[in-house]
Amino acid sequence: MLKLLSVVALIALFSAPVSAIEYEEHDGMLMDHGDGHLMDMAGGMVMGQNTNTLPGGCDKISETREVTVHAGHKYAEKFPGRMFSFDTQEFNFKPCTKLTVHFVNEDNIRHQWMMHGLPKYLYPKGMFHIEASGPSKISGTLILPPGDKTYLVHCDIAQHMEKGMKAQLKVGKGDGDLPSIPGLTALVVPDDYKITLEQLNAKAHADALLPEPVAAAPVVANKPAAKAAAVVVEDSLISGVTVIGLAIGLLVAPYLSRRYQGLSVSEVITHVFADLRALIEWLAKYVSVLLKLVGLNKDKELPEK
């Protein structure tokens, strides 16, 4: 009898679901921050919530619908080359539908269900947006506008749409299909697996009309490594300076526009020349320091030769 019981206990143990995911339930916990913006401290958020204001052109709510959308890596498995996806790529609703979306994030990262192109007088930035950090369920409601239109739905976390988390929502008949929707429409830029990396680089060179890499400056005998190192130093120096220049430009542009605001043309010119002079003086100092550094490195190399 004891043996039988233990066998039964063992069977029960092994047939129990293995580590079911713990889902956070955001609904009912969200704080209303006004303007349809709801959020909680656990990473759940709804923006553009609208449960009762009719969009212009809607006489009444045509119907009330609910849809559950799952989001996660596993839904991308059937789309080769994609990483994230929703379980549904196309939604269809009548104009003026009151729609509640139950969003279920099944990954241990943040995902969104973000809809674009809605009337801006009703939805901030024309967006309705549900977001969940980690495995969780969260719901949001909006009222769809009238007319036939296709709306973009995606996850706006960096690269998630490009990696497959993209869908379309057609109100009425919609007004066409969006590109690059997994399993639905063709990629805007199709991958070409026939071309090799070398061919791609050669093509890029030809396209940019770049000169072919110059073959060999004077070779230091038996020291190809030293030569390579010298080339690398030169390359990194150029790209480093370029990057610094760009960064300075980006940082300085807004400052300059503020600095010269409200001045007459001649005043601006005077200021620009004074500033340029200061900048050149500063750059001269900077370059001389750099040259000194390069000189020091050369000195270090000399004993090896």
Minimum gap (Å) between residue 165 Cβ and Cu ion: 5
Nearer of residues 97 and 133 to Cu ion, judged by Cβ: 133
Nearer to Cu ion, 30 or 165 (CB): 165
Least distance in Å: CB of 160 to Cu ion?
3
In whole angstroms, what is the distance from residue 100 CA to residue 61 CA?
A: 13
Binding region for Cu ion (CB under 5 A) out of 22-30, 34-42, 48-56, 110-118: 110-118
155 binds Cu ion (CB under 5 A): yes
The residue count for binding Cu ion (CB under 5 A) is 5
Q: Considering the rule CB under 5 A, would residue 142 count as an interface residue with Cu ion? A: no
Residue 130 near residue 113, CB atoms below 8 Å: yes
Report the residue from 157, 184, 230, 256 that binds Cu ion according to the rule CB under 5 A: 157
Q: How far apart are CA 52 and CA 163, in angstroms?
A: 35
Chain mean position to CA 120: 23
Instruction: Provide, rounded to whole angstroms, the least separation between the CB of residue 111 and Cu ion.
Output: 4
Nearer to Cu ion, 81 or 249 (CB): 81
Using CB under 5 A as the binding rule, whether residue 111 contacts Cu ion is answered as: yes
Neighbours of 157 (CB within 10 A): 16
State whether residue 85 is helix, strand or coil. Answer: strand
Regarding 160 and contact with Cu ion (CB under 5 A), the answer is yes
Site residues for Cu ion per CB under 5 A: 111, 155, 157, 160, 165
